[in-house]
A = this chain, B = another copy of it.
């Protein structure tokens, strides 16, 4: 098994680039005027990208495939990067679902053509417009035959908790295609999503960022309580960049309430925490860093982290985690599972990619140059 990958990065943000060539003509005017919805609602004066992740020859961070490989993947020995795009997720939050649908399709086509073709070390996410689940399901199936598209990805911001039956066509298609469904934060409070907290709008970027995981608790709770994992028993749900240490509380509270209230969820056959460990996957960044690192390891044991947690860097975002320094001392087997084992199983990446000769330098060059000339949209930012 020495051929198995040792480091899979489950959240790497690639700049998607101009969508114009991928959009039907009818949408070109809107795309020129609006771009991808939505820009920053909460302003951070330090920005949302690492300043030192600017590619050497220019363009925004994450826009140059070769630089991304050398600056991040080769530097830290990342075998595979699961690409999650940049500024794309707001497409689920446009009032007009048709605009969201064409944007999703264009992003996916561009992902395939300009990123997945560059290197087998890049694996793609299928962006879907969660506000139109039937269209989202069709988009998932359109990519079913492409083994380099390894998950479905949608904004964590939503009008309804993700367990509700409105969304089930997405899970049906994902299960059919053998793909996990992932959510990514950063659009909370934007577009047609509601306020980012049960008590309305927080004030500043830091406060908003601190509290993003509450939306993840909302979705995990909903998915389990609504019986999604009984209806779609092979489905996995990936909670990208939503924190980790809140999970013991949610599991314990759900299990306790289940004991008293299980008659209201008769479709559940096991404790909520059992569905969570089997079906929910969390990514590490931004990892919690208590002053006593062993306290975080205690949390990892509480949630069976060897099954549930996967490494992510969030490169090239402002708070990205260094693969060499992120994980505290923990049992070796648990660390191996977090760094690669669980992701290898989830995404079907059982062997290392062929390293050399695997990057199409010509194509990478074309993408990098193009990104220098891409239109000057206000691009939405994820976290």
Contact = CB atoms under 8 A, between A and B. Distances in A.
B205 A288 contact: no
A187 to B, nearest CB: 11
| Size bin of chain A's contact surface | 35 or more
B200 A194 contact: yes
A230 interface: no
B200 A159 contact: yes
Given A260-B46, A288-B252, A290-B302, A218 B204 contact: no
B295 A248 contact: yes
Contacts of A219: 199
Contact of A203 (B45, B194, B204, B225): B225
A261 B189 CA distance: 20
A157 B244 CA distance: 26
Number of copies: 2
Q: Which of A159, A194, A197, A286 has the most CB of B within 10 A?
A: A197
Contacts of A150: none
Interface in A199-251: 199-207, 209-211, 213-215, 217-219, 221-222, 225-226, 243-246, 248-251
Nearest to A261: B206
A158 to B, nearest CB: 4
Contacts of A46: 260-261, 263
A161 B199 CA distance: 5
A277 interface: no
A358 interface: no
Given A199-B219, A207-B221, A249 B44 contact: no
Interface of A: 44-46, 156-164, 188-189, 193-207, 209-211, 213-215, 217-219, 221-222, 225-226, 243-246, 248-258, 260-261, 263-265, 286, 288-290, 295-296, 298-299, 301-302, 318-319
Q: Can you list the 6 inter-chain pairs with the closest CB atoms, starting with the nearest?
A: A245-B249, A214-B214, A252-B288, A197-B218, A207-B225, A206-B261
